[in-house]
């Protein structure tokens, strides 16, 4: 019952019974959508979970780089928001520095609600720079995760070579292995023997 799908079943059925005892708990029936995760088991899609694990591992390995980057973006947002407040001011809708920082984050993430917009030429120029920086903000974390994912794939390739030991026929899992993990045979022995024959 404490398995992954057991917990999913529990969370998807409990809200129905809570509705009998507590008023307002009908909103928890949205948890019933968790039953859709059963589709993975029905359609035999569980084998693709390993691929998602590679992506999760890449995200986990690059979390420090992404955290530093997000912290840097937060600092840039505060600085540019303060600068925009000084340029535009309350007359043009930038009522406070936090309000201006909100506008900077909305512009930087290319959401652009349009509730506030700069009116002065200098403010519009700064807004243009923030928009251009926003494209870089989108690209950098994607590049970090992609590089980590590619490096994980390369290390997996070195793990699955498919050789076998000539002495005990044990499968050699690493391409850079010098000795057999089972019998200790020198895997480079054949190369050394050939070199001696040629000499």
Q: What is the pLDDT of residue 180?
A: 83
Q: What pLDDT does residue 166 have?
A: 74
Say what the pLDDT of residue 71 is. 93
pLDDT for residue 161:
47
Say which DSSP state 166 is in: T
Residue 22: DSSP 8-state: S
Q: What angle do CA 158, 159, 162 make, to 5 degrees?
A: 95
- Could you tell me which of 79, 147, 68, 67 has the C-alpha nearest to residue 108? 79
Task: Encode pLDDT of 56-82 as tens digits.
Answer: 888 888 888 889 999 999 999 999 999
**pLDDT given for residue 142 in this prediction:** 83
pLDDT value at residue 140 = 86
Domain boundaries for CATH 1.10.287.70 within the chain = 60-159
What is the pLDDT, as a whole number, of residue 42?
A: 66
Q: Does domain 60-159 have CATH number 1.10.287.70?
A: yes
Dist. CA 93–CA 88, nearest whole Å: 8
The pLDDT, as a whole number, for residue 98 is 94
Q: Name the burial class of residue 134, with classes exposed (0-12), middle (13-18) and buried (19+) by CB atoms within 10 angstroms of its CB.
A: buried
| Residues in the chain, overall count | 199
What's the pTM?
0.57
pLDDT tens for the chain, 199 residues long, are 788 778 877 877 787 777 777 777 667 767 777 777 777 666 666 566 666 777 788 888 888 888 999 999 999 999 999 999 999 999 999 999 999 999 999 999 888 888 899 999 999 999 999 999 998 888 888 888 888 888 776 665 544 445 677 777 777 777 777 888 888 888 787 656 555 655 5
DSSP structure string for 79-145: HHHHHHHHHH-GGGT--SHHHHHHHHHHHHTT----SS---SHHHHHHHHHHHHHHHHHHHHHHHHH
CB atoms within 10 A of CB 162: 8
pLDDT at 104: 95
Spatial CA neighbour of 65 closest among 126, 182, 145: 145
State the Cα–Cα distance between residues 176 and 23, nearest whole angstrom: 64
Residue 117, phi-psi category: left (phi > 0), alpha (psi -120 to 50), beta (remainder): beta
Cβ atoms of 84 and 100 closer than 8 Å: yes
């Amino acid at each position: 019952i404490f398995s992954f799908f057991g917990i999913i079943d529990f969370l998807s059925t409990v809200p129905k019974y809570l509705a009998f005892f507590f008023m307002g708990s009908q909103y928890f029936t949205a948890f019933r959508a968790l039953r859709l995760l059963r589709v993975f088991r029905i359609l035999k899609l569980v084998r693709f979970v390993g691929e998602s694990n590679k992506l999760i591992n890449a995200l986990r390995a690059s979390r420090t780089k992404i955290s530093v980057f997000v912290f840097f973006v937060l600092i840039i947002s505060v600085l540019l928001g303060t600068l925009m407040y000084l340029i535009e001011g309350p007359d043009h809708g930038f009522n406070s520095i936090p309000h201006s920082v909100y506008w900077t984050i909305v512009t930087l993430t290319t959401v652009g609600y349009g509730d506030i917009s700069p009116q002065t030429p200098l403010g519009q120029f700064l807004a243009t720079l923030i928009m251009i920086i926003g494209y870089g903000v989108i690209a950098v974390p994607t590049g970090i995760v992609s590089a980590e994912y590619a490096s994980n794939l390369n290390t997996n390739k070195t793990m699955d070579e498919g050789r076998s030991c000539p002495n005990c026929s044990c499968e050699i899992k690493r391409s850079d292995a010098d000795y057999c993990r089972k019998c200790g045979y020198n895997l480079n022995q054949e190369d050394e023997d050939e070199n001696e024959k040629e000499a």
